[in-house]
Amino acid sequence: NAGVTQTPKFRILKIGQSMTLQCTQDMNHNYMYWYRQDPGMGLKLIYYSVGAGITDKGEVPNGYNVSRSTTEDFPLRLELAAPSQTSVYFCASSYRDRVSGNTIYFGEGSWLTVV
């Protein structure tokens, strides 16, 4: 079972470069999320999507952009990389259900270093 797959696993960027972190899920989940985790900290929500064509800002959206053209994919774009964006990025997805609630499943993470 693939679950939530994100690429690349590791990347080093120079200041000012751009890149896209890819995320895809095969569980037909309607909700998708991008979080970042700084060393020794919990996860902070960057952007989220409640369905194809719908995106919204989370807690720390500055410096990032997202799109959700399909249910499966939710790429995260960094336009002008800054050292403050050095972090571990996690993509996640969930299916909102009245009975079972909203259980979120995570990808394995993408380690990004901006130098």
- Which residues are near another protein by CB under 8 A? 4, 31, 33, 40-45, 48, 50, 56, 58-59, 90, 94, 96, 100-109
Measured CA to CA, the distance from residue 35 to residue 89 in angstroms comes to 6
Compute the least distance from the CB of residue 22 to another protein, in Å. 15
3 versus 63: smaller Cβ distance to another protein? 3
Measured CA to CA, the distance from residue 42 to residue 27 in angstroms comes to 25
Q: Which amino acid is at 58?
A: G
Closest CA to 29 of 65, 58, 5: 5
41 versus 82: smaller Cβ distance to another protein? 41
59 versus 79: smaller Cβ distance to another protein? 59
Please enumerate in sequence order all residues whose Cβ is within 8 A of that of 33, keeping only pairs 6 or more positions apart, or say none. 45, 47, 48, 49, 58, 74, 91, 92, 93, 94, 104
Compute the least distance from the CB of residue 80 to another protein, in Å. 26
14 versus 100: smaller Cβ distance to another protein? 100
Please identify which residue in the block is written with the tokens 């369905």.
51
Compute the least distance from the CB of residue 45 to another protein, in Å. 7
Compute the least distance from the CB of residue 10 to another protein, in Å. 10
